[in-house]
Amino acid sequence: MDPTERRRRHSGRTTLSDVALAAEVSPITASRALRGERGVAADLVERVKRAAEQLGYVPDPAARALASQRSTQVPVLVPLLSNALFVDVLEAVHRTLLPHGYQPMIGVTHYDPQEEEQLLRSYLAHRPAGLLLTGFDRTEAARQMIATSTVPCVYLMELTQAPNVYCVGFSQADAGHAITEHLVQRDRQRIAFVAAQLDPRTLQRAEGYRRCLREHGLYDARLELLSPQPSSMRLGGELLEDLLRTRPEVDAVFFCNDDLAQGGLLMALKLGVNVPGRIAVVGFNDLSGSDQMVPPLTTVRTPRRAMGEASAQMLLGLMRGEMPPRNSMDLGFEMMLRGSS
């Protein structure tokens, strides 16, 4: 056997050269035809595509990434998977990106900027095609890495007017204001704000709540119950119990997330506290099950799927080198007025 044969490490898979051979063109032409690059004669494109199909050719992503210095991977960094909120966003992102040949890579930051920075560092080493990140709360090092990488990036969940920043979301503060205003319009006077996790978006909702109550001269800092613990139905129940014990004058509660609110509603049921008679309850996000509660939960429906899809679409454009029509997409929110308020 000759030395060139001895050195072979061929994996047995069908390569671009096999396709080119079958189509009787050079590998470069085959490559161009398959990628849909314009400037290839139509009949050649046809021949190459047919050959590729017949041979069952699948391009090697690693080779492609190495040669082009760009992969098809799109890291998507979210705080948590246990919040249905982000799962909905991710599903929409997947559905939008996959048909275009991009691979979303889910990273979970646990609301920790340090963890996000680490993930970013490792994902950026993969030369991703694009980046989908949650919010604007990150370390300076992370910001630097994103900027110097020149990888197209779209931010989810929040909005900013900062230049050269692409974002898709809605105003958390305005939504917090709107649901509070609804309680005021229903003649509630002692409106509590009960929150967990205390991530940036929760705090923005709190700002909306405060602004609204101050406008009406109803603000009372004692009615804010903030817990850094992770959000859960159990915690919502505990916080409501706590609230009713220590602030018995309260006549409405704005829970910063529906899981807390659902737990609160069930606790009210257990305690025999009438909702909305004795106390009105509202939530945030309109998660699964909120409409099934007893009574059904009034809440703010947030555009989760729409955000996932729109951010992925915007990123798709950026990855193609296009300029999006606008940097910031406000998808708004919807009031779901139900029996609990």
Partner DNA sequence: CTGAAAGCGCTTACAG
Name the residues that contact DNA, by CB under 7 A. 4, 6-11, 13, 15-17, 25-29, 31-32, 34-35, 38-41, 44, 57, 59-60, 63-64, 66-69
| Partner from DNA, its own copies, none contacting 94, C-beta within 5 to 8 A by type | its own copies
User: What 3-state class would DSSP assign to 254?
Assistant: strand
Nearer to DNA, 20 or 196 (CB): 20
Select 27 or 230, whichever has its Cβ closest to DNA. 27
Q: Which residues in 189-225 are b (16+ Cβ under 10 Å) and which e?
A: ebbbbbbbbbbebbbbbbebbbbbbeeeebeeeebeb
Q: What are the distances in angstroms from CA 255 to CA 151, 223, 261?
A: 37, 12, 5
Of the pair 259, 286, the CB lying nearest its own copies is at: 259
Indicate whether 1 belongs to the interface with its own copies (CB under 8 A).
no
The DSSP annotation for 193-230 comes to: EEESS--HHHHHHHHHHHHHHHHTT---GGGEEE--SP
3-state helix, strand, coil in the chain (%, to 5): 45, 15, 40
Pairing state of beta strands 153-157 and 299-301?
A: unpaired
The item of its own copies, DNA, none sharing an interface with residue 44, based on CB under 5 to 8 Å by kind, is: DNA
Question: Residue 90 binds what, of its own copies, DNA, none (CB under 5 to 8 Å, by partner type)?
Answer: its own copies
Query: 27 is in the binding site of which of DNA, its own copies, none (Cβ under 5 to 8 A by kind)?
Result: DNA
Q: Check binding of 94 to its own copies (CB under 8 A).
A: yes
Q: Is 237 near its own copies (CB under 8 A)?
A: yes
| Nearest approach, Cβ of residue 143 and its own copies (Å) | 17
Q: Does 126 bind its own copies (CB under 8 A)?
A: yes
Residue 53 CB, nearest distance to DNA (Å)? 14
Q: Is 37 or 334 the residue whose CB approaches DNA more closely? A: 37
238: left (phi over 0), alpha (psi -120 to 50) or beta: alpha
Structure-token pair, residue 238: 């505990």
Partner whose footprint covers residue 4, from DNA, its own copies, none (CB < 5 to 8 Å by kind): DNA
Distance CA 104, CA 96 (A): 10
User: What gap in Å lies between CA 111 and CA 94, rounded to an integer?
Assistant: 22
Does residue 272 interact with its own copies by CB under 8 A?
no
Element spanning 183, H or E: helix 172-185
Among 1, 42, 125, 221, binds its own copies (CB under 8 A): 125
Task: Please count the CA atoms within 13 angstroms of the CA of 254 that sit on its side-chain side.
Answer: 31
Pick 122 or 229: Cβ nearer its own copies:
122
What, of its own copies, DNA, none, does residue 332 touch, CB below 5 to 8 Å by kind? none
Q: Does the bond joining 276 to the residue before it have cis omega, within 30 degrees of 0?
A: yes
Q: Does 61 bind its own copies (CB under 8 A)?
A: yes
- Judged by CB under 8 A, the chain residues 152 through 211 that form the site for its own copies are none
Closest CA to 77 of 311, 326, 280: 311
| Contact positions vs its own copies (CB under 8 A) | 9, 11, 58-63, 65-66, 69, 71, 81-82, 84, 87-88, 90-91, 94, 103-106, 108, 121-122, 125-127, 232-234, 237, 259, 262-263, 266-267, 269-270, 288-289, 291-294
